[in-house]
Amino acid sequence: MILSRVLLVLVAVVCISFVQAFTRASSTPSLSTTRLAFGNPTFVSKSSALTLNMAGGPEIEVIKNPSKEFLEQKGVFNWGTWGCDASKFPWTYDQNESCYLLKGQVTVTPTDGRKPATFGAGDFVTFPAGMSCTWEVSEAVHKHFYFF
């Protein structure tokens, strides 16, 4: 019973904070960004249009040309392989994925405002779980991959 009351109070505080931040963001034309403590949502006022940017999650991590020792320590050469021709397609990561590109060139653009990443043959890349994005494969790709 006490736990449910504490939870109810916590939810109320979060909702009130959200409403206050939203009200400040929409009523102050000169305000460019308001950050809240939970999940880092960002409100951006652009010519009287209010957009919600949830880009608070981890970025795509690219390690350019890692050492052979790094790749062997990760077990990369025992992972599965996947490839595709030049193309453009949407993708959502239900789990984290690490991959090592054997060939190709790709730009991955998250749909939530996180930074796009361009990488190619010889690069080690980690994608965060929960991220939706667009893959733009400019040169046919062949990669080792591992979901975790």
Pair (44, 81) in one structural domain:
no
The pLDDT tens digits for 13-68 are 344 443 343 333 333 333 333 333 333 333 333 333 333 445 568 999 999 999 99
Pair (101, 119) in one structural domain:
yes
Pair (140, 75) in one structural domain:
yes
> 93 near 110, Cβ under 8 Å?
no
Q: How many domains does the chain have?
A: 2
Pair (84, 120) in one structural domain:
yes
Pair (102, 72) in one structural domain:
yes
Angle at 56 (CA atoms; ends 54, 10), nearest 5 degrees: 80
CATH code of residue 75? 2.60.120.10
Pair (10, 26) in one structural domain:
yes
Contacts of 50 by beta carbon, 8 Å cutoff, 6+ apart: 25, 26, 43, 44
Q: What is the domain extent for residue 23? A: 2-53
Q: Which residues pair with 84 in a beta bridge?
A: 141
Pair (31, 96) in one structural domain:
no
Angle at 84 (CA atoms; ends 138, 148), nearest 5 degrees: 105
The pLDDT tens digits for 23-34 are 333 333 333 333
CB-CB neighbours of 137 under 10 Å = 18
pTM to 2 decimal places: 0.63
